[in-house]
């Protein structure tokens, strides 16, 4: 049974249907017959986390949505339209993706520059986002390490993505290289951004506790040929803080997701 039953009355913001991926002409399928439908929920958005073992295709799913890769078979639509250059979605990677020869201000306003927005306007709009992500005072620094810390560089990437398209944010293990203190701070920043912009966020991580803290829906992928095999509705309050992690309901959900992950791993190895 599909985790994403087709509902014609449902207004989806992201639609992947019948997706299959092969790199050898169909002799082997990395992903096969995959559907991924994310409903557009006005005045709330969604925070969807994808879990799965390494190599199962989590990052590939994000690349489809971002328009960086086309599947061998199937269709990818954003807001009912095929992905093209006019509506490509920004993506935040684990590796720092800012342009190091440009300042923080110029990096954040990059999408507006390509759209032909005048410098005065794009700088003003970029500064609003820079303030939001806590980079005040760093806007004229070059976006490179060690001038900026790892956490600051990821804030630059998030700010750039938000200014380009605040409706959809794709994140591929963005906090994986950060120390634990910075990672926890970035988790709280991301939840505040979600509620402010009411975005649809698709987030890939290997950290189960992080997934439960951030998500309102978790989907688990099995190994090749990959597909979604588990869905967990994260029944926690939408507004969360550090105390949420002391809640017994949170702890029970972490254990549930751990059990589901182990079950999927055993399924994949059998």
CA 235 to chain centroid: 20
Among candidates 13, 14, 43, which has minimal Cα distance to 194?
A: 43
Establish if 111 belongs to a structural domain: yes
Establish if 199 belongs to a structural domain: no
Establish if 34 belongs to a structural domain: no
Establish if 121 belongs to a structural domain: yes
The H-assigned helical ranges of the chain are 58-66, 104-108, 110-114, 119-132, 150-164, 180-197, 208-214, 248-269
Name the residue range of residue 105's domain: 97-164
Cα separation of 143 and 159, whole Å? 12
Establish if 150 belongs to a structural domain: yes
Count of domains forming the chain: 1
List Cβ neighbours of 23 (8 Å cut-off, separation of 6 or more): 30
Over 60: is that where the pLDDT of 113 sits? yes
Q: Is residue 10 helix, strand or coil?
A: coil
Say what the pLDDT of residue 200 is. Answer: 94
Establish if 197 belongs to a structural domain: no
Over 70: is that where the pLDDT of 50 sits? yes
Q: What is the pTM of this model?
A: 0.92
Q: How many helices (H) and strands (E) does the chain have?
A: 8, 10
Q: What are phi and psi of 173, to 5 degrees?
A: 45, 50
Establish if 35 belongs to a structural domain: no
Read off the pLDDT band of 54 (50, 70, 90).
confident
Instruction: Please give the residue that has the higher pLDDT: either 7 or 155.
Output: 155
* DSSP string across 27-93: SS-SEEEEEEEEE--TTT-EEEEEEE-TTSSHHHHHHHHHTS---SEEEEEETTEE--GGG---EE-
Establish if 203 belongs to a structural domain: no
Q: What is the pLDDT of residues 67-106, one digit of tens each?
A: 999 999 999 999 888 887 556 688 898 777 788 999 999 9
Proportion of the chain in helix, strand, coil states, percent, rounded to 5: 40, 20, 40
User: Mean of the pLDDT values across residues 22-26?
Assistant: 90
Percent of the chain whose predicted confidence (pLDDT) is above 90: 66
Average pLDDT value for the chain? 90
Say what the pLDDT of residue 3 is. Answer: 84
Say what the pLDDT of residue 23 is. Answer: 92
Among candidates 174, 176, 239, 182, which has minimal Cα distance to 213?
A: 239
Over 90: is that where the pLDDT of 166 sits? no
* Residue pair 40/17 in contact by the 8 Å Cβ criterion: no
């Amino acid at each position: 049974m599909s985790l994403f039953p087709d509902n014609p009355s449902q207004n989806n913001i992201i639609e992947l249907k019948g997706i299959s991926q092969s790199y050898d002409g169909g002799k082997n399928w990395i992903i096969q017959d995959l559907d991924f439908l994310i409903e557009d929920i006005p005045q709330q958005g969604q925070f969807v986390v994808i879990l799965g073992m390494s190599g199962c295709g989590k990052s590939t799913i994000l690349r489809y949505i971002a328009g960086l890769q086309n599947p061998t078979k199937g269709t990818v639509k954003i807001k009912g339209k095929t992905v093209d250059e006019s509506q490509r979605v920004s993506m935040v990677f684990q590796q720092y993706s800012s342009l190091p020869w440009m300042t923080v201000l110029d990096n954040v306003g990059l999408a507006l520059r390509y759209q032909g927005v005048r410098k005065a306007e794009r700088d003003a709009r970029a500064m609003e986002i820079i303030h939001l992500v806590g980079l005040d005072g760093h806007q004229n620094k070059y976006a490179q390490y060690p001038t900026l810390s790892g956490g600051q560089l990821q804030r630059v990437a998030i700010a750039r993505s938000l200014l380009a398209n605040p409706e959809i944010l794709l994140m591929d293990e963005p906090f994986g290289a950060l120390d634990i203190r910075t990672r926890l701070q970035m988790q709280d920043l991301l939840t505040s951004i979600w509620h402010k912009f009411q975005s649809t966020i698709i987030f890939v991580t290997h950290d189960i506790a992080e997934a439960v803290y951030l998500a309102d829906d978790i989907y688990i992928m099995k190994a090749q040929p990959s597909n979604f095999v588990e869905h967990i509705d994260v029944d926690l309050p939408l507004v969360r803080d550090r105390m949420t992690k002391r809640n017994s309901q949170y702890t029970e959900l972490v254990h549930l997701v751990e059990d589901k992950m182990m079950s999927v791993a055993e399924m994949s190895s059998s």
